[in-house]
Amino acid sequence: MSETIRFRTLFIAFVLFFASLGFAQPGKATYDAKCQSCHGADGMASSGAGKILKVKPASDPAVKKMSDADMVAAVRNGMGKMQPYKNSLTDAQIKDAVDYFRTFVK
């Protein structure tokens, strides 16, 4: 009996652990660490720094019109007052952060 309970408990823990991995959004951790302070938690540039620097929100037509390649290049090389991240983030991290940023307006 205790063997069955132990197996079921282990099975449930296993299922819950792997189910939680499915909900993780690639790019969120990078966005939170590197982008959120200026672009805001919701991408609307409502943070203090975002307002001071006049960062355009994710909903801005000019931002929405940018291609993924243009946005990746802006993050990699910097744009306006934004510093370049080519030396501190991998291309995959930049792409994931851009993809996450795009979710704010979908």
Cα gap 49→31, rounded to integer Å:
15
Report pLDDT for 33: 96
Report pLDDT for 5: 73
Report pLDDT for 84: 97
Report pLDDT for 20: 47
Residue 103 tokens read as 């979710």
Domain ranges of the chain: 25-105
DSSP H/E element including 14 = helix 2-22
Q: In terms of CATH architecture, what is 25-105?
A: Orthogonal Bundle (1.10)
For residue 82, the cross-strand partners are 79
Run means of pLDDT, 10 residues per run, the chain, 106 residues: 68 54 77 96 94 95 96 96 96 97 90
Cα gap 12→10, rounded to integer Å:
6
Report pLDDT for 9: 66
